[in-house]
Structure 1
Amino acid sequence: MESVFASQVSVSVVVPVFNTEQYLCECLSSLAKQHLGSLEVIVVIDASPDNAYQVATRFAQQSSLPIRIVNLDKNVGLAQARNIGMSHAKGQYLGFLDSDDYVDENMYQHMFNLANEQQADWVSCGFSKFSDHGVECYAHQNISENTSVCNKLFRRSFILEHQISFPQGELFEDEVFSYMAELFAETAVHIDPPYYFYRHNQQGICRRAGADKHRLYARMSSIGDFMQRMEQSELLPKAAPQCLEMLCRHAYLQLRTQVSWFDLLCYWRFTQHLIEKYQLNNGDASVQDNYFVSSFSKWHSREWALWLIRIRAGRANYAVE
């Protein structure tokens, strides 16, 4: 289904939908309340088994918000659903909104105006994570802490020029997209207001209990592909400091997960392999002072010490599985 779109669209927001009909109206309503008038919404129904298509169609019929609904016959996953949505976009800037989340009514107007003023390739804002237990606000400027695409606006011509897309069939697709945008960008701007409201869903694919091992190996696949793309794009060695920080940070944070000692060592050895393969330690010496880089350098070859750190992290029950 298509609505009549304004000739000049400032922002296109892609909303991929799968099995979230109970949240979809709240999500779309937050877009209908935006103060930015020249906004289009592209809803990609990813062969959702619920009534999401009917909910989206009914909302589009009753709302003045320009909504295009793309109804897929086959489930393609979040990454490809976003790519398909991007292919339909007409806006000067691109935004992404997950269908179980919502946004503040000022988000896109504020960020679009700022992007125009600064001639930014992308802009990010803070976000709020909410659940039945309350709300927590975050405002990370460092890209390693700010990898979600949903709290950002990307200049569409910039995305097209550098052929940035979401890697199909992988978890952590946001991370690859955001890092590519960070490393290609000439100007990026961050603002602190937590305009994006992220629903903490314990049943999400990356948050289900016992999913840490799956996440670990999915991250290995995603990061391996990302490093290949960095090399192919000729961004290395310029991007070496950021890549080194990212790899070391992820390796160190695995100490807090519920994976076995064997799986943890696999991840650390894989990280060291990537660092050596792409000669990341030959980059900017200043990154060596980074907490995660220095910690990884100190402990990666001292497995006995890593074992003790693992126990201190409170994961002793998973150390010998």
Structure 2
Amino acid sequence: MKSKVSVIVPVYNTMKYLSEMLASLEKQTLKEIEFIFVDDCSTDRSLEILYDFEQRHTDKVIIIQLNENQGPGGARNVGLQYASGEYIAFADSDDYVKPEMYEILYKKAMEDDYDIVECGYFSERRDRDMMLWDKTMEGKVSFDNRVKMLMSCGFIVSKLYKRNIIIDSQINFIDRIQFEDVDFLSRLYCRIEKVGIVDKALYYYRDNPDSFTNKGNKLSYFDINNTFSRKYIDNMRKEKNYDILKPVIDYVVIGIWFDMFKTYVTKSSKIDMNSLQTIDREIKQYIPNYGENMFFVEQAKYDVLKEAFLANSYDYKKVVKILERNEK
């Protein structure tokens, strides 16, 4: 039976939640579906749970066991090599999905041969349903909507992707590091032509404190940001629309450094000027004029932390003044 959808699930030490995810996949109303699990060197009972699931669904399940930890990105890259479906989806092993999710997304994709179909998700952290893209994004991708996609980035797990675009374009994930989904989605957004929107929350996104996103890896935050910035910019420079999209591509890189800056200034009892200078110096390796980015400049009019962040590009002392002014 040919698969309409291939669902790729990287697995690493999620036995606490894995059975719930598997139960939600088992209930999928779309029958022409395959599940590809990539065990990323789990040390708990995750692999055993996967094999039990495979025994019940031998015609739909593929299990790949890696002999070296590659992170979610590397695990998804391996999964892509085995995917045969017309469309591809990604899910995290500590989340779960509604029974009708992939049938609804696939039917939507078939309506107008969409390259990507986006749905809503329930955020456990915010305790509510979320939609990152609304119906105005549906249809042929305009330049403005492409910019919106890059700025919002979105979740990799709340979408269905036309397989040929990923495979033919040879788009892979950055392995062994965070933000791998940002790089993957950004490159995909440069290539897609039509987007479908399903205005329903079909994915349950869990706030797992032990996830790769929350715990990260052995690299320092500076190492993570530098590795991502370098690889992301190198990858995006290969896209045909790089020159015209450069301000928003820069915005994405600036955003990850802003997150570091925000964490530092909100959690430090006293601001260290040397740390501010270090953050500024690191960003300028990639975007020397980041303080003039049109998107960040506009947002800084309404966000004090972003105002302080941009001020850090030319006057470290002014950062403290802006933050002190905000506290009064």
* Alpha-carbon distance in 1 for matches of 2:124, 2:292: 39
Over residues 52-106 of structure 1, what are the superposed CA-to-partner deviations in whole Å (9 max), with x where a residue is unaligned? 1211111122247711111223322221111001100000111111111111122
The CA distance in 1 between the partners of 2:297 and 2:314, in whole Å, is 18
Q: Who is 2:162 aligned against?
A: 155
Q: What is the correspondence of 1:89-100 to structure 2 with a 5 Å cutoff?
A: 89-100=83-94
Q: Which residue of 2 aligns with 1:116?
A: 110
What is residue 282 of structure 2 aligned with on the other side?
A: 270
Q: For each residue in 1:113-144, what CA deviation from the matched residue of structure 2 results, as whole angstroms up to 9, or x when unmatched? A: 2222232221222222226xx72332113433
Q: Distance in 1 between matches of 2:279 and 2:241?
A: 24
- 1:48-127 pair list within 5 angstroms: 48-63=42-57, 66-127=60-121
Structure 2 distance, partners of 1:95, 1:117, is: 18
* Alpha-carbon shift at residue 215 of structure 1 (Å): 3.6
Secondary structure of 2:225 counterpart: helix
Q: How far does the alpha carbon of each residue in 1:218-246 deviate from its partner, in whole angstroms, 9 at most, with x for none?
A: 13321221011111334310321321332
Structure 1 position 236 matched with structure 2 position 242: yes
**Equivalent-residue separation in structure 2 for 1:281 and 1:119 (angstroms):** 39
- Root mean square deviation of aligned Cα: 3.2
Residue number among 207, 224, 231 corresponding to 1:218 in the alignment? 224
Q: Structure 1: which 5+ runs fail to align?
A: 1-5, 315-321
Conserved 8 A contact 2:36-2:61: yes
Whether the 8 Å CA contact 2:280–2:312 is kept in 1: the answer is: no
Q: 2:127 aligns with which of 130, 135, 153?
A: 135
Instruction: Select the residue among 311, 314, 317 that pairs with 1:304.
Output: 317
Following TM superposition, by how much is the alpha carbon of 1:166 offset from its aligned partner in structure 2, in angstroms? Answer: 0.5
Question: After the TM superposition, which of the residue ranges 185-194 and 16-25 deviates more from structure 2?
Answer: 185-194
Partners of 2:190 and 2:183 lie apart in 1 by: 11
**By how many angstroms is 1:302 displaced?**
2.8
The 3 A distance-change label for structure 1 pair 233 and 301 is same
- Equivalent positions of 1:13-32 (< 5 A) are 13-32=7-26
Give the letter aligned to residue 233 of structure 1.
E
* Percent identity over paired residues: 27
Alignment correspondent of 1:291: 299
Preserved contact between residue 187 and residue 239 of structure 2 (Cα < 8 Å) = no
| TM-score of the superposed pair, with normalisation by structure 2 | 0.80
